[in-house]
Amino acid sequence: MSITATELKMNLGKYLLLAETEDIYITRNGRIVAKLTSPYEDRIDAAKSLFGVLENAMTLDEAREERRKQI
């Protein structure tokens, strides 16, 4: 959703509630100047993207050894 800075100022509470479920782009003079978004959404997406990264056959000891090699 895209709104003007003036619209945001007039209806801040409404857009704060909407930001929990969708990104809101704020424009000034026709250009996007800011993005209002939920801080928790990024964490959820990041966690979902990591699912399945490690092989199922890797043990905890093997993971620790792999980590030691990287240091």
Give the chain's domains with CATH numbers.
2-70 (3.40.1620)
* Three-state DSSP state, 21: coil
User: What is the band of 62 on the pLDDT scale with cuts at 50, 70, 90?
Assistant: confident
Residues 6+ apart with CB under 8 A from 19: 36, 37, 38
Total-model pTM: 0.57
Mean pLDDT of the chain: 84
The confidence score (pLDDT) of residue 55 equals: 60
Report in angstroms the alpha-carbon separations of 3 from 36, 37, 38, 39. Answer: 10, 13, 17, 19
Q: Give residue 31's pLDDT.
A: 95
In whole angstroms, how far apart are CA 26 and each of 6, 10, 33, 45, 63?
Answer: 9, 13, 6, 22, 44
Q: What is the mean pLDDT of residues 49-64?
A: 72
Report the pLDDT averaged over residues 29-33: 94
Give the residue with greater pLDDT, 29 vs 55: 29
